[in-house]
Copies of this chain bind each other. A is one copy, B any other.
Amino acid sequence: MTITNEHSCHSLGIVEKKYHTFAKPPSKMTLESGAELGPITIAYETYGRLNDKGDNAILLTHAFSGDSHAAGYYESSGNNDKPGWWDFMIGPGKGIDTDNYFVICPNILGSCMGSTGPGSIDPATGQPYGLNFPMMTIGDMVETQKILVNFLGISQLHAVIGGSVGGMQVLEWCVRFPEMIRAALPIATTMRHSALAIAFNEIARQAIMADPNWKHGNYYSGQKPDMGLAVARMIGHVTYLSDEAMRRKFGRRLQNSNEFSFGFNGDFQVESYLHYQGHKFVDRFDANSVLYITKAADYFDVVEQIGKPLAKTARRLKYLVVSYSSDWLYPTYQAKELVQSLKRSGQDVSFCEIEADCGHDAFLIPDQRLTNLIKGFLDGIS
């Protein structure tokens, strides 16, 4: 595996977060559950320029706890700030080449990174929604993304790309709006959650709801359910790694000395890592958003729809399905089931399993193989 560091050479530089608000009163957006929601704000960033024909746009959909800041740096954040979460992939000359493509990355509905979610103010009460926020689905996220894409003057996307829960959004796009996309690149994802994936999500939710500070979601004016949220994040982190990755990264190495503490503060480096990840997450994410987004992921199921011949468009979509050999959250066998369903329905499908020992989160780690795959795939779309 060659790790490239080209993003330091060809950076996008300063980028800006933007907002699009719609579903304003008196009309609201009707969600899949039947509930109504509005106004809705979707935070997004764009990189590169939309060409005159308006046909070079790529929609990038982010994972569960991601955000719209996929590449570049914020002006306000100083020199030491981290770039966007896929900065190594997006920029001039990179896998998603911003000299050729116009990239849009929206924050998902239900999140807490600028888009409307359970922590947003409910105009009906002037207070945060909390659990009054309606349950939303991956389909609802995609509906809001379509509104944003149309608002930006784009009638057809060159491609939709995303990993994990982002990959679910990609598949939902293919099911709902196939006429609006030419190609789809679902990475490290699944057509629907297994019982194991639901179980992990439910335990994370239980950890949050067990925190007395959670108060049925009504905690915005007081102490937050930080302890429960930290435990939830630790559970998530274990599912993002792999047995091999954890052995390589931590093994049984001790944190502070060569001797056991014979206490409960954590002896092993893997324990300190989990504590760090758990408590870092608390600073940047809203516990209620975890509840809503994990539930949307659990509900997601396109097994029936993805395999059906396209009713809405006769044109075949081009797919590149990517899985990772050590991903045990959405294992390769699930990616292969997706590939078979797509092939049966007559789509143009390529599939690649990348050998990597770093688990589900592998797509967030610079890897020239994924970069080359994406670059080649995007350039081959006609």
Residues of B with C-beta under 8 A to A243:
194-196, 328, 331
Q: Is the CB of A252 within 8 A of B193?
A: yes
Closest B residue to A206 by CB, please name it: B231
Mask, A175-201, CB within 8 Å of B = 1, is 000000000000000001111101110
1/0 contact trace for A321-355 toward B, CB 8 Å?
A: 00000001001000000000000000000000000
B135 and A205 form a contact (CB under 8 A):
no
Alpha-carbon separation in the docked complex, A291 to B249 (Å): 25
Stretch of A12-20, A101-109, A263-271, A362-370 at the chain-chain interface:
A263-271
Closest-by-CB residue of B relative to A136 is: B262
Which chain B residues lie closer than 8 Å to A235 at the CB level?
203, 235
Copies in the complex: 2
Name A248's closest neighbour in chain B (CB-CB). Answer: B195
Q: Which of A107-139 contact B (CB under 8 A)?
A: 131, 134-135
Assuming the contacts A194-B246, A231-B206, A231-B207, asked whether A199 and B135 have C-beta atoms less than 8 A apart, the reply is: no
Cβ of A276 within 8 Å of any chain B Cβ, yes or no, is: no
For residue A32, which residue of chain B has the nearest CB? B262
Q: B247–A209 contact, CB under 8 A? A: no
Residues in chain B near residue A200, CB distance under 8 A: 238
* Neighbour of A298 across the interface among B199, B202, B246, B268, CB < 8 A: B268
CB <8 Å contact, B231 and A270: no
Chain A interfacial residues counted at CB < 8 A: 56
A234: which B residues are within 8 A, CB to CB? 199, 202-203, 206
Give chain B nearest CB distance to A143 CB in angstroms: 16
Q: What are some 21 contacts across the A-B interface (CB < 8 A)?
A: A195-B251, A195-B268, A195-B270, A196-B243, A198-B252, A198-B268, A199-B234, A199-B270, A200-B238, A202-B274, A203-B235, A206-B231, A206-B275, A206-B278, A210-B211, A210-B227, A210-B228, A231-B231, A264-B291, A267-B298, A267-B299
Additional pairs, 8, CB under 8 Å, beyond known A202-B266, A243-B331: A33-B260, A195-B251, A196-B238, A196-B246, A203-B231, A205-B264, A210-B230, A210-B231
List residues of chain A with CB under 8 Å of any chain B CB. 33, 35, 131, 134-135, 192-196, 198-200, 202-203, 205-207, 209-212, 227-228, 230-231, 234-235, 238, 241, 243, 246-247, 249-252, 260, 262-264, 266-268, 270-271, 274-275, 278, 291, 295, 298-299, 301, 328, 331
